[in-house]
Amino acid sequence: MTNSNDDYVYDEVGGEWRPASEVTATAQGHALEVRDASGTVLADGDAVVLIKDLKVKGAGQTLKQGTVIKSIRLTDNPEEIDCRHDAIKGLVLRTEFVRKR
């Protein structure tokens, strides 16, 4: 039986509401591992290179293959990274389109 004072968090993987203490304990058990298109592990602050041309929705612009993106940030989703680019603010790229530099 759970304590009525527990905070609950929605677990998107399991599709159910779970006590926050249980989710935190599970999250500490395994670290999030983000890999690029070649399988190399990425970390915050890494530089990546685009492996194909990408049309950026909402910006009306295409990022060309070979474009270097510096100083990435990992997100909660292992398939996406936050990026900074001179012309595009709030850029999020899928890891399947980048390779570690």
Model confidence pLDDT, tens digit, residues 4-58: 556 888 777 677 787 777 665 555 545 679 999 999 999 999 999 999 999 988 8
Model confidence pLDDT, tens digit, residues 45-101: 999 999 999 998 888 889 999 999 999 999 999 999 999 888 788 899 999 999 999
- The residue extents of the domains of the chain are 1-30, 34-100
- The per-residue pLDDT for 20 is 74
Measured distance CA(16)–CA(65) in Å, rounded: 40
Q: Where do the DSSP E strands lie in 16-79?
A: 16-19, 34-35, 41-42, 48-50, 54-56, 61-63, 68-69, 73-74
Measured distance CA(30)–CA(13) in Å, rounded: 14
- The per-residue pLDDT for 2 is 46
Q: Does domain 34-100 have CATH number 2.30.30.40?
A: yes
- The per-residue pLDDT for 97 is 96
| Both tokens assigned to 26 | 């599970």
Measured distance CA(20)–CA(67) in Å, rounded: 40
Measured distance CA(18)–CA(22) in Å, rounded: 7
Residue with tokens 């999030």: 32
Reduce the DSSP state of residue 95 to 3 states and report it: helix
